[in-house]
Structure 1
């Protein structure tokens, strides 16, 4: 089958690879759609932290935001999955350690991450092997754009949960990329007053087109505003300290963005302001609720997708190119069948 393979920093392309095989407890998914995210671009550039730690090595196959249809099972006991539309959890724990048994498989020391960690092949391919334990069923009428946005939406949902917002609370989202905008959409759907800080007027204009009125660059931020929570969805090393500085005493700071270098926070300020800091890793535990938010129309993330391209255009997207005719959104999707 065809798959996108990265063989070194800035080097990748479509290659013929062996067909996947489903062992007992696994299924084969025919992939409909795959989202490209910042982590994928870091792998393509060669500066993703897992390449330094040894948790990932070249050659590798990326793609962890996906949806598709089950076409084969490894065990007859899983036959009910055949034909069903699905997405899945990226994090695949060992299922035997204390963290996995406690429902925290996304923190398992030995975990695989689809398209990310320890060599589990990703979804930028015609077909993908997935454990049945990681599958999330999708409604039959759920379109592929929504399906491939469930994984980033699950991350954003967990960030909103971490903010512990009440209707009417004011929340500041730092970062107007895909995760930041999904956080903003979900928080607004729950009745919060959403403010967004972005880097450029282009990104802020797009945020305004989604109905967010309180948008500004950092220079225009009203630091005297009473923010009950601040969600850092950026990759800027100074943003976590900014979040602690401007959040209301007794408020919450949620850290879902990861900078390329250490982000320093003055813990004296955290203690004196009685701030709760929450870290978010992965969509694990937030996927089913995200499907429900999309299915009911409470949140519609589809405008975030600027374009869908074929597998042969993957390298250009990973290199930061915007194809002709692309919309203003921050997200690109790949259709591996094209």
Structure 2
């Protein structure tokens, strides 16, 4: 089969590789859509921390936001999965450790991460093999485009819920990229008043096209009480700014990661009685995200700027393509 293979920082090719086999407990899925995200870009540049921590190495096959149809079953897999439209969890815990037994397999010390960690090939390929237990069925109303947006949506849903915001609450989301906009959509669905902080006119104009009227640069940000602040950006100074901007007894949610260490004065957290939450994974939010998409509570499709084939992935990761202001690029491996 054809797959996008990253062999080093900025070095890649689409090559023929052996098709995956459905080993015991696993399935093979024909990939219909896969998303390209910031984590993939960090592997492309060589900045991703896992490369330096020994969790990942080149060559590697990227792609952890995906949807497709189950085409093969391994031994012991429920026959009902065959032919089902699915997406899959990125985080694959060992299912035996204390964290996994407590339902926290997404932070398992020994976990694999599809297309990211410990050699589990990703979905920028025609087919992918994953454990059957990691699958989530997609209803007919959730097509392949929506299915490939479930994984980032699950992260965003968890971030939105971590704010505790609802009617009457004002939330500032810093970073109008894919995760920030998805978080804003879920917050709006919860009837919170949503503000977005960005640094480019194009990204803020796109946010306004989604009917977010409270969009600001740092210089324009009004002096308002924010009951919660979500940092969905990658600037090292923003985590501290979130604490400065949030109301006393408010909540700050960290889902963005900067390339350099961020510093927070914990005295500010304590003296303002602030609750701070970090969001790593979509795992606990996948099912509810599928439901939200199926019911139309949140429509993330406008965030997809274009769909390309495997041969264009390298140029996308290198920033050589411009598809417009929408932040997400999808890949159809069949193209």
Alpha-carbon offset, residue 328 of structure 1: 2.4
Alpha-carbon offset, residue 316 of structure 1: 0.4
Q: 1:109-130, CA deviations, whole angstroms, 9 ceiling, x for partnerless residues?
A: 0000000000100000000001
Q: Secondary structure, in 3 states, of the residue corresponding to 1:136?
A: strand
Instruction: Provide the residue aligned with 2:117 in structure 1.
Output: 117
Instruction: Provide the residue aligned with 1:243 in structure 2.
Output: 242
Alpha-carbon offset, residue 140 of structure 1: 2.4
Written as runs of structure 1 = structure 2, the 5 A alignment for 1:238-317 is: 238-317=237-316
Instruction: Provide the residue aligned with 1:170 in structure 2.
Output: 170
Distance 2:290 2:324 in 1: 24
**1:333 equivalenced with 2:330 (yes/no):** yes
Alpha-carbon offset, residue 320 of structure 1: 1.2
Q: Secondary structure, in 3 states, of the residue corresponding to 2:230?
A: strand
Alpha-carbon offset, residue 132 of structure 1: 1.0
Written as runs of structure 1 = structure 2, the 5 A alignment for 1:42-53 is: 42-53=42-53
Q: Secondary structure, in 3 states, of the residue corresponding to 2:146?
A: helix
Instruction: Provide the residue aligned with 2:200 in structure 1.
Output: 200
Distance 2:104 2:140 in 1: 29
- TM normalised by structure 1 equals 0.98
Distance 1:26 1:11 in 2: 31
Alpha-carbon offset, residue 166 of structure 1: 2.2
Q: Is the 8 A contact 1:25 1:131 kept in 2?
A: yes
Instruction: Provide the residue aligned with 1:99 in structure 2.
Output: 99
Alpha-carbon offset, residue 75 of structure 1: 2.0
Q: 1:130-182, CA deviations, whole angstroms, 9 ceiling, x for partnerless residues?
A: 11111010012422111110000000000011111121210000001000000
Farther-moved stretch of structure 1 (160-169 vs 126-135): 160-169
Q: 1:79-99, CA deviations, whole angstroms, 9 ceiling, x for partnerless residues?
A: 110000000110000000000
Aligned CA-pair RMSD: 0.8
**1:133 equivalenced with 2:133 (yes/no):** yes
- TM normalised by structure 2 equals 0.99
Alpha-carbon offset, residue 321 of structure 1: 2.3
Question: Which runs of 5 or more residues in structure 2 are unaligned?
Answer: none
Q: Is the 8 A contact 2:77 2:132 kept in 1?
A: no
Instruction: Provide the residue aligned with 1:81 in structure 2.
Output: 81
Alpha-carbon offset, residue 76 of structure 1: 5.0
Q: Secondary structure, in 3 states, of the residue corresponding to 1:286?
A: helix
Q: Is the 8 A contact 2:85 2:137 kept in 1?
A: yes
Q: Secondary structure, in 3 states, of the residue corresponding to 2:281?
A: coil
Question: Which runs of 5 or more residues in structure 1 are unaligned?
Answer: none
Q: Is the 8 A contact 1:67 1:88 kept in 2?
A: yes
Q: 1:195-219, CA deviations, whole angstroms, 9 ceiling, x for partnerless residues?
A: 0001100000000000000001111
Distance 1:88 1:154 in 2: 12
Instruction: Provide the residue aligned with 2:16 in structure 1.
Output: 16
Q: Secondary structure, in 3 states, of the residue corresponding to 1:199?
A: coil
Written as runs of structure 1 = structure 2, the 5 A alignment for 1:207-218 is: 207-218=207-218
Q: Is the 8 A contact 2:175 2:198 kept in 1?
A: yes
Q: Is the 8 A contact 1:34 1:67 kept in 2?
A: yes
**Which runs of 4 or more aligned residues in structure 1 lie more than 4 Å from their structure 2 counterparts after TM superposition?**
none
Q: 1:16-43, CA deviations, whole angstroms, 9 ceiling, x for partnerless residues?
A: 1111011111100000000000000110
Q: Is the 8 A contact 1:305 1:327 kept in 2?
A: no
